[in-house]
Amino acid sequence: MHALYPENPEAHIPLQQEILRYSLTERGISLMEVLDQLCTWGEENRRPIPETR
């Protein structure tokens, strides 16, 4: 949930609460396979951090 606060942030009294729903567009969904492949490549090719750092 996202809360909207008055101009005085010290008050911390929510004026209104809204539920925001997000979803990917078809274009965003089409990118998921590429991002998954990139993550897999990164996991397979990362170097271990030396202990002496």
Question: Which pLDDT does position 17 carry in this prediction?
Answer: 77
Task: Say how many domains are in the chain.
Answer: 1
State the pLDDT at residue 32. 94
Residues 7-24 pLDDT 10s:
665 666 666 778 888 899
pLDDT of residue 53: 57
What phi and psi values does residue 11 have, to the nearest 5 degrees? -70, -40
CA 3 to chain centre: 18
pLDDT-above-70 percentage for the chain:
70
In tens, the pLDDT along 31-50 reads 999 999 999 999 999 988 88
Within a domain: 13: no
Three-state DSSP state, 16? strand
What per-residue confidence (pLDDT) applies to 51? 82
Q: Quick check: is 42 in a domain?
A: yes
Its domain, for residue 34, covers 23-53
